[in-house]
Amino acid sequence: MAGKVYLVGAGPGDPELLTLKALRVLRTADVVLHDELVGPQILSLVPFSAQIHNVGKRCGRKSTTQAEINALLVNYGLLDLQVVRLKGGDPLIFGRGGEEIEALRKANLDVEVIPGVTAALGAAAATQIPLTHRRLSSSLIFITNHHSSSASTSDWPGSISPTATVVVYMPGYAYAATARQLVAAGLKASTRCAIISQATRSEEKIYITTIEELRSAPRLPAPTLLIVGEVVRLAQHPSLHDQVSTRSEEFLPLVAQSESVAQSQGNMATSERPE
Ligand code: SAH
């Protein structure tokens, strides 16, 4: 009898962001195939009896190709085992979950997807950036900058509304090229950007800049995410204080502005319906 394959989202890092369903399935797994982004705290929830395979694509190890991952999933699935494909964030956002589902369906295997908190939501929560906002942002775009993925920067939308929030997954460090792409899509060079590194983990950091200044941003440790849009003015994070104290001339006005936005919002809250 064939088993069942679960595509499970592990969330952005903090184990407390796992869903109860993900936890239940992990605790009863026979085989777990996980990505590089899944940390040891989450893997420690898997029973000792389970086989654990790191099929991640980093750390200088020989990568497991997507075709090999699909074959592993199908082969384990055909045995009478509970197979968990554990992915960082959500399995269906820039996670090649679609290809894995296709391979499993072709083999007539039963698949269940358990969603996870995607990195954009983890990073937004950690830095208190509202991804949508009644006055500042009415749409949200998730995009990837990774050239080897199916979407290259040339697949970016030709035009991005100034009232959109853009979240760039796998932004890499070619910041000058990313900035050019954002401006070519119609965003003002003064639009705020936040680079969020290792969101929801203890090493989490945020760096705030503008599209214009993005090219001189530091290379924060991976994984990083870039959030672009006026909502970035509302960011709050302890690591912002370091940025303000080391680059005070440039960033004190930004802090002052974000306070004034916060104040005007406070006024607005009494007269407008909540979001
Ligand atoms: N399926 C995942 C995304 C996989 S693509 C999800 O839904 O989140 C991998 C990219 O996700 C990384 O290059 C980075 O841009 C982003 N990412 C994942 N975890 C992150 C974290 N804790 N902090 C910042 N970015 C993260």
3-state SS, 160-181, equals CCCCEEEEEECCCCCHHHHHHH
Q: Find the mean pLDDT for residues 155-170.
A: 93
> Is the Cβ atom of 22 under 6 angstroms away from ligand 1?
no
Percent of the chain topping pLDDT 70:
82
In which band, very low, low, confident or very high, does the pLDDT at 58 lie, cut at 50, 70 and 90?
low
**Could you tell me the sign of the dihedral formed by the alpha carbons of 235, 237, 239, 245, in that order?**
positive
Contact call for residues 90 and 169 (beta carbons, < 8 A): no
Summary mean pLDDT of the chain: 87
* pLDDT tens digit sequence for 88-127: 999 999 999 999 999 999 999 999 999 999 999 999 999 9
Active site residue 106: no
Q: Find the mean pLDDT for residues 160-184.
A: 95
If one residue of 16, 169, 206 were mutated to test the ligand 1 pocket, choosing by the most ligand atoms within 8 A of its CB, it would be 169
Identify the active-site residue in 14, 90, 170, 205.
Answer: 170
Any residues with CB less than 8 A from the CB of 99 and at least 6 apart, and which?
Answer: 66, 70
146-150, 189-193, 228-232, 259-263: which range is least confident on average? Answer: 259-263
> Is the Cβ atom of 14 under 6 angstroms away from ligand 1?
no
Q: How far is the CA of 193 from the centre of ligand 1 (A)?
A: 17
**With 90 as the cut, is the pLDDT of residue 55 above it?**
yes
Q: Find the mean pLDDT for residues 156-163.
A: 91
**With 50 as the cut, is the pLDDT of residue 132 above it?**
yes
- Say what the pLDDT of residue 251 is: 47
- CA–CA gap between residue 124 and residue 256 (Å, rounded): 21
By CB atoms closer than 10 A (0-12, 13-18, 19+), residue 67 is exposed
- Say what the pLDDT of residue 3 is: 74
- Say what the pLDDT of residue 270 is: 32
* pLDDT tens digit sequence for 205-219: 999 999 999 999 999
> Is the Cβ atom of 168 under 6 angstroms away from ligand 1?
no
Write the single-letter amino acid at 82.
Q
In which band, very low, low, confident or very high, does the pLDDT at 80 lie, cut at 50, 70 and 90?
confident
**Could you tell me the sign of the dihedral formed by the alpha carbons of 156, 138, 11, 191, in that order?**
positive
**With 60 as the cut, is the pLDDT of residue 15 above it?**
yes
Q: Find the mean pLDDT for residues 36-49.
A: 96
CA-based nearest residue to 216, from 178, 256, 168: 178
Q: Find the mean pLDDT for residues 148-152.
A: 48
User: Ligand 1: which residue has its CA nearest to atom 24?
Assistant: 224
If one residue of 37, 87, 173 were mutated to test the ligand 1 pocket, choosing by the most ligand atoms within 8 A of its CB, it would be 37
Active site residue 57: yes
- Say what the pLDDT of residue 1 is: 60
3-state secondary structure of 228: strand
By CB atoms closer than 10 A (0-12, 13-18, 19+), residue 158 is exposed
pTM: 0.87
> Is the Cβ atom of 200 under 6 angstroms away from ligand 1?
yes
Q: Which domains does the chain have, with CATH numbers?
A: 4-117 (3.40.1010.10), 120-271 (3.30.950.10)
Can you read off the two tokens belonging to residue 229? 């849009």
Active site residue 62: no
- Say what the pLDDT of residue 149 is: 46
Q: Find the mean pLDDT for residues 56-79.
A: 85
